[in-house]
């Protein structure tokens, strides 16, 4: 390649400030203001990548985000970022860029052998090769295929940088700061409306640096500078560069990414690398402009072939010259202007090839350029760097070519017209409408409060853009799109349509031949337009070729709708700061520090942290929970139950309300008594269980399971608001206001009696299920005699800020009985021994009857779910019901194991533990028609670990079935 720096100093670079960077480990230099692509061009390196499938050499193709070829990985380790488009990467000192998809090196890539197999690797290769051969063959090949095909690789290291998210609100959001965007901003600014002008580039102004003519008497560059200055003086106008709007969502909500520090070696302290913006806009002006359209010809992907306007941008903005001997292939007048501008900047354009039969006589020509009107480029070749092209006379009507001649060139610039960037408009749901004059799709009518202007609606000239009048301009008329696909004399011509996914005209032909004809099918079968660039440079040509194959017009063939994101968005940016520990909220009970100080191993229970076990020196988890559970049975234990949901239910109709939502009776719960209740969902399955304590005629304190606390509250609110607005009841969550602990075991009464004053702990004073108010010193407590463990037990609640003091007071009072704090494991052990249900049995698929609580359901009233719980399927005899299991082999059982009777899979294990009371490994399980299986032996199998255990089916009450220990 012969790229170099021009004598002309580019508009955007500062040649007094050199910048050092590396590409594939080799050092290069550029200037401040360069992009990676412009610096590489100036260094004579056009080839930057290998293609996705065939590993063909690929060069820089464009000067913007539409870049299909020059994808690179930036930085390394945790900061590695794959698949960045080189033209949009700003250069900085120490930038470390790498090529992708090439091994061992970019210039010698062994996978380029794929090109030899290219006749095989066409559209549908994978379907045809691997469908029907069985999974094994695919699994064998997959590793090699994944290694060979692809883009950059993501880093496995955590990203050390921070990403932020913010919301913005604006009356008018203008997307794009080219002539249309700036004109719109100038028109709107005096109104005082809050305006947000965003542009994805580093510089505002869009195409203005290359535009000719005058605006308000100034040249476009000057007008842009003055306009930007004027706008910056308005307090109501905010301008954001390096900000890409990637999605247009409901209610005029835009998703955007601001590249805050991507142009720095590392972000400064506390500075995010990127910021995600959610923009709420009253009105949106879409001024996203257009991009140039390529031609399709043999070898059109050779490094050195690139878009014409892009070459002009490299010259004008960065003083970067794409070649020494440059040809330009066009089918429109604008190509001539581009060629002449390039020459003025010092780029040696020698030949202009024009596909049109004839041109207007008044089209200015340059005597240093040879014009080949009525000719087309039929091929470009040179491998890693363009060296020659073939041109031939072209008969557009017959689509045939004459005798080819070979011309030496090192850069071939192509321009087959312009494609409006309607991506964001399309995302709003408006259809794309084919505009015959410009041979492109333009946005249909706005469905929401937005408006498109400028090149995105096909206004390609400054006059059109700034007057908003369509100027009748014969020269502007694009030649039919169908004429961008060039005939070739080469039978194995490689004419690429989608560069990034290596989709060629051959692939489109195959798809057509095999019947994948609708645009949706074609896209999926060939993967055309499905690469990271969303087919920005390829879609229109593909549609034209497809329409041609089917003999229909482009609008008849139709197009697909664009989806967000317009440009790839890093997952880190979408996550923002919600990573690691901050992914969800963490809830700690007031006793958390005490637990930590006493050897607790914590476990996440929903968003709560709860002690799992309190390990003593040398203990395993199993040792610890067995010791803790045994202590409860033998003396006294204490467990933190703060995480239970707590709901205050108040109002004259409180009892009536609970009676309607619990399956058992609640109307006549006496004041000072609690009752265990089960709630069903409207569909009749079990929803939640817990106790409700009647504190007064009109007030209950309801407890729910930890997991369902929020759901139960919402359901109660729904019923009170939408179904029974006449009930005088109010519910509030008081989960955070109360700390709770359960004191369980034969010595629980003795412990609490020592510390809680003003409560009579006698059998009559505080009977089972009784609720009393008391004091510990001057700290108020509520004591309820409830039991989950089966032992005599009390739940003690106190305002949250007294939680740890009350806990410590009870611990002190229990010292005499060697009170043992216990965690969720021992809690599980105790309740499994008693056959009490918990989360694994309340899995949303069980009925009350399934878990042996059918008799609890009231038959004297209706309640939520009472009718639908009688559905045939819910009362079937063959339903899985809860049973107990005892391991025959004295081995631990695994929750989730399948239970086999012979070879019949009849259910699964729900909860398992070692029972210190039975000195056996036991479990709860749900099995088909459980009551008929008592005394039978089943096989508990866990295929993932290849484990089988022989188990005995028993009643799910392993311990103290009569409940005598509640009164010990």
Partner 1 sequence: MIIKCPHCGPREASEYTYIGDATTKRPDHNDTDMDKWNDYVFLRENPRGAHAEHWQHTSGCRSFVKVLRDTVTHEISGVSLEGPWQVEDKS
List residues binding partner 1 (CB under 8 A): 249-251, 253, 280, 429, 447-448, 660, 682-683, 710, 714, 717-718, 720-726, 862, 867-868, 870-871
Q: Supply the minimum distance, in Å, between the C-beta of residue 681 and partner 1.
A: 9
Using CA atoms, how far apart are residues 478 and 438, in angstroms rounded to an integer?
A: 5
The torsion angle over the Cα atoms of residues 750, 754, 760 and 764, rounded to 10 degrees, is: 10
Q: Supply the minimum distance, in Å, between the C-beta of residue 682 and partner 1.
A: 5
Question: What is the residue whose two structure tokens read 């820089």?
Answer: 60
Using CA atoms, how far apart are residues 223 and 321, in angstroms rounded to an integer?
A: 26
Residue 149 φ then ψ, to 5°? -100, 140
Consecutive H or E run containing 508: helix 505-513
- From first CA to last CA, the distance across the chain in angstroms is 94
- Establish whether the linkage from the previous residue to 262 is cis, with ω within 30° of 0: no
- Return the number of the residue (430 or 635) whose C-beta is nearest partner 1: 430
- Return the number of the residue (597 or 872) whose C-beta is nearest partner 1: 872
Q: How many CA atoms lie within 13 A of 608 on its CB side?
A: 22
Sign of the dihedral through C-alpha 683, 687, 689, 694 = negative
- Return the number of the residue (34 or 715) whose C-beta is nearest partner 1: 715
Three-state SS string over 70-128 comes to: CEEEECCHHHCEEEEEHHHCECCCCEEEECCCCCECCCCEHHHHHHHHCCCCCCCHHHH
Nearest residue to 738 via CA among 692, 798, 695, 809: 798
Angle between the N-to-C axes of helices 519-526 and 505-513, in degrees from 0 to 180, rounded to the nearest 10: 120
Using CA atoms, how far apart are residues 662 and 678, in angstroms rounded to an integer?
A: 5
- Return the number of the residue (626 or 713) whose C-beta is nearest partner 1: 713
Give whole-number Cα distances, 707 to 501, 605, 690, 838, 843, in Å. Answer: 47, 8, 12, 10, 11
- Return the number of the residue (158 or 429) whose C-beta is nearest partner 1: 429
- Return the number of the residue (632 or 647) whose C-beta is nearest partner 1: 647
Q: Supply the minimum distance, in Å, between the C-beta of residue 867 and partner 1.
A: 5
- Return the number of the residue (618 or 873) whose C-beta is nearest partner 1: 873
Q: Supply the minimum distance, in Å, between the C-beta of residue 780 and partner 1.
A: 28
- Return the number of the residue (141 or 446) whose C-beta is nearest partner 1: 446
Q: Which two tokens stand for residue 517?
A: 């004809």
Q: Supply the minimum distance, in Å, between the C-beta of residue 871 and partner 1.
A: 7
- Return the number of the residue (251 or 877) whose C-beta is nearest partner 1: 251
Q: Supply the minimum distance, in Å, between the C-beta of residue 254 and partner 1.
A: 13
Q: Supply the minimum distance, in Å, between the C-beta of residue 702 and partner 1.
A: 17
Residue 874 φ then ψ, to 5°? -90, -10
Q: Supply the minimum distance, in Å, between the C-beta of residue 722 and partner 1.
A: 6
Q: Supply the minimum distance, in Å, between the C-beta of residue 870 and partner 1.
A: 7
Using CA atoms, how far apart are residues 526 and 498, in angstroms rounded to an integer?
A: 10
Burial grade of 295 (CB within 10 A; 0-12, 13-18, 19 or more)? buried
Q: How many CA atoms lie within 13 A of 899 on its CB side?
A: 30
DSSP annotation string for 338-392: HHHHHHHHT--EEEEEE-SS---TTS---TTSEEEETEEEEEEE-TTS--EEEEE
Angle between the N-to-C axes of helices 709-718 and 654-661, in degrees from 0 to 180, rounded to the nearest 10: 110
Q: Supply the minimum distance, in Å, between the C-beta of residue 646 and partner 1.
A: 16
- Establish whether the linkage from the previous residue to 152 is cis, with ω within 30° of 0: no
Q: Supply the minimum distance, in Å, between the C-beta of residue 921 and partner 1.
A: 41
Q: Which two tokens stand for residue 221?
A: 């560059």
Q: What value, to the nearest 5°, has the Cα angle with vertex 883 and ends 880 and 886?
A: 135
- Return the number of the residue (545 or 716) whose C-beta is nearest partner 1: 716
- Return the number of the residue (241 or 253) whose C-beta is nearest partner 1: 253
Q: Supply the minimum distance, in Å, between the C-beta of residue 185 and partner 1.
A: 25
- Return the number of the residue (250 or 397) whose C-beta is nearest partner 1: 250
Q: Supply the minimum distance, in Å, between the C-beta of residue 503 and partner 1.
A: 33
DSSP state of 664: S
List the helix and strand counts (H, then E) for the chain.
21, 50
Q: Supply the minimum distance, in Å, between the C-beta of residue 572 and partner 1.
A: 20
DSSP state of 595: H
Q: Supply the minimum distance, in Å, between the C-beta of residue 559 and partner 1.
A: 20
Three-state SS string over 280-324 comes to: EEEEEEECCCEEECCCECECCCCCCEEEHHHHHHHHHHHCEECCC
Q: Does residue 36 contact residue 21 with C-beta atoms inside 8 Å?
A: yes
DSSP state of 581: G
- Return the number of the residue (489 or 714) whose C-beta is nearest partner 1: 714
- Return the number of the residue (250 or 361) whose C-beta is nearest partner 1: 250
- Return the number of the residue (22 or 732) whose C-beta is nearest partner 1: 732
Strands (E) located in 24-91: 26-32, 47-50, 57-59, 71-74, 81-85
- Return the number of the residue (235 or 726) whose C-beta is nearest partner 1: 726
Q: Supply the minimum distance, in Å, between the C-beta of residue 579 and partner 1.
A: 18
Q: Supply the minimum distance, in Å, between the C-beta of residue 430 and partner 1.
A: 11
Kindly give the pairing relationship between strand 637-640 and strand 820-821.
parallel
- Return the number of the residue (49 or 661) whose C-beta is nearest partner 1: 661
Helix ranges, 149-250 (H):
179-188, 220-232
Q: Supply the minimum distance, in Å, between the C-beta of residue 313 and partner 1.
A: 38
Question: What is the residue whose two structure tokens read 């004591």?
Answer: 783
- Return the number of the residue (479 or 710) whose C-beta is nearest partner 1: 710
């Amino acid at each position: 390649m012969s790229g170099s720096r021009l004598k002309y100093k580019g508009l955007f670079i500062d040649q007094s400030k050199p910048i050092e960077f590396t590409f594939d480990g080799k050092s290069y230099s550029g200037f401040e203001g360069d992009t990676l692509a412009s610096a590489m061009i100036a260094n004579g390196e056009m080839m930057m990548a290998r293609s996705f499938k065939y590993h063909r050499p690929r060069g820089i193709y464009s000067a913007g985000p539409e870049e299909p070829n020059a994808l690179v990985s930036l930085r390394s380790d945790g900061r590695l970022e794959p698949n960045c488009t080189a033209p949009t990467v700003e250069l900085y000192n120490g930038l470390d860029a790498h090529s992708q998809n090439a091994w061992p090196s970019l210039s010698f890539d062994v996978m380029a052998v794929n090109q030899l197999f290219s006749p095989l690797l066409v559209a549908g290769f994978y379907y045809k090769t691997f469908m029907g051969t069985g999974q094994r063959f695919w699994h064998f090949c997959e590793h090699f295929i994944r290694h060979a095909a692809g883009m950059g690789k993501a880093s496995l290291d955590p990203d050390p940088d921070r990403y932020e998210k913010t919301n913005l609100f604006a009356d008018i959001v203008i997307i794009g700061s080219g002539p249309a965007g700036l004109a719109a901003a100038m028109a709107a600014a005096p109104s005082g409306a809050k305006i947000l002008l965003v542009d994805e580039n580093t510089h505002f102004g869009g195409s203005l640096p290359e535009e000719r003519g005058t605006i308000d008497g100034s040249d476009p560059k000057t007008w842009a500078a003055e306009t930007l200055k004027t706008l910056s003086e308005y307090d109501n106008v905010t301008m954001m560069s390096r900000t890409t709007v990637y999605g247009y969502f409901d209610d005029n909500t835009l998703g955007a990414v601001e590249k805050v520090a991507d142009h720095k070696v590392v972000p400064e302290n506390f500075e995010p690398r990127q910021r995600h913006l959610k923009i709420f806009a009253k009105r949106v002006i879409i001024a996203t402009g257009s991009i140039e359209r390529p031609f399709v010809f043999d070898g059109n992907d050779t490094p050195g072939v690139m878009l014409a306007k892009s070459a002009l941008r490299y010259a004008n903005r960065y003083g970067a010259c794409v070649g020494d001997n440059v040809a330009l292939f066009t089918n429109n007048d604008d190509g001539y202007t581009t060629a002449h501008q390039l020459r003025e900047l010092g780029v040696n354009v020698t030949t202009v090839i024009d596909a049109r039969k004839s041109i207007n006589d008044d089209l200015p020509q340059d005597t240093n350029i040879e014009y080949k009107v009525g000719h087309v480029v039929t091929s470009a070749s040179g491998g890693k760097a363009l060296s020659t092209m073939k041109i031939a006379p072209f008969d557009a009507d017959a689509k045939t070519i004459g005798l080819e001649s070979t011309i030496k060139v090192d850069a071939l610039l192509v321009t087959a017209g312009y494609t409006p960037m309607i991506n964001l408009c399309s995302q709003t749901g408006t259809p794309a409408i084919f505009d015959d004059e410009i041979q492109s799709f333009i946005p249909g009518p706005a469905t929401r409060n937005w408006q498109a202007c400028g090149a995105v609606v096909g206004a390609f000239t400054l006059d059109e853009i700034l007057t908003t009048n369509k100027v009748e301009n014969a020269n502007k008329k694009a030649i039919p799109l169908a004429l961008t696909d060039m005939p070739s004399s080469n039978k194995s011509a490689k004419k690429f349509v989608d560069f990034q996914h290596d989709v060629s005209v051959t692939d489109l032909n195959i798809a057509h031949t095999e019947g994948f004809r609708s645009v949706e099918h074609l896209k999926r079968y060939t993967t055309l337009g499905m690469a990271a660039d969303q087919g920005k440079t390829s879609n229109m040509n593909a549609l034209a070729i497809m329409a041609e194959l089917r003999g229909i017009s482009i609008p008849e063939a139709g197009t697909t709708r664009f989806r967000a994101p317009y440009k790839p968005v890093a997952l880190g940016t979408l996550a923002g700061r919600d990573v690691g520990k901050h992914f969800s909220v963490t809830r700690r009970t007031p006793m958390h520090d005490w637990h930590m100080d006493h050897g607790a191993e914590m476990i996440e229970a929903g968003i709560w942290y709860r002690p799992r076990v309190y390990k003593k020196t040398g203990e395993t988890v199993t040792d610890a929970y067995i010791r803790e559970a045994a202590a409860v049975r033998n003396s006294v234990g204490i467990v933190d139950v703060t995480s239970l949901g707590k709901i205050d239910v108040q109002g004259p109709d409180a009892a009536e309300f609970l009676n309607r939502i619990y399956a058992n009776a609640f109307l006549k719960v006496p004041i000072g008594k609690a009752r265990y209740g089960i709630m069903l969902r409207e569909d009749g399955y079990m929803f939640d269980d817990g106790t409700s304590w009647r504190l007064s005629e009109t007030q209950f304190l309801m407890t729910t399971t930890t997991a369902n606390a929020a759901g139960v509250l919402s359901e109660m609110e729904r019923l009170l608001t939408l179904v029974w607005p006449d009930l005088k009841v109010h519910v509030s969550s008081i989960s955070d206001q109360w700390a709770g602990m359960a004191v369980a075991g034969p010595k629980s009464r003795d412990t609490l009696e020592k510390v809680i004053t003003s409560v009579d702990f006698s059998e009559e004073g505080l009977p089972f299920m009784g609720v009393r108010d008391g004091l510990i010193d001057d700290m108020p407590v509520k004591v309820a005699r409830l039991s989950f463990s089966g032992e005599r037990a009390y739940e003690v609640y106190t305002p949250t800020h007294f939680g740890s003091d009350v806990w410590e007071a009870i611990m002190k009072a229990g010292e005499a009985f060697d009170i043992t704090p216990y965690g969720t494991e021992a809690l599980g052990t105790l309740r499994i021994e008693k056959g009490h249900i918990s989360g694994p049995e309340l899995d949303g698929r069980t009925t009350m009857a399934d878990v042996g609580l059918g008799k609890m359901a009231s038959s004297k009233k209706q309640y939520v779910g009472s009718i639908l719980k009688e559905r045939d399927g819910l009362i079937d005899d063959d339903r899985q019901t809860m049973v107990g299991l005892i391991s025959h082999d004295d081995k631990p059982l695994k929750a989730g194991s399948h239970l086999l009777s012979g070879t019949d899979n009849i259910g699964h294990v729900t909860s398992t533990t070692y029972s210190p009371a039975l000195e056996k490994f036991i479990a709860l399980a749900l099995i088909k028609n459980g009551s008929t299986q008592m005394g039978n032996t089943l096989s508990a199998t866990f295929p993932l670990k290849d484990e089988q255990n022989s188990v005995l089916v028993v009643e799910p009450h392993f311990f103290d079935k009569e409940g005598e220990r509640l009164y010990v």
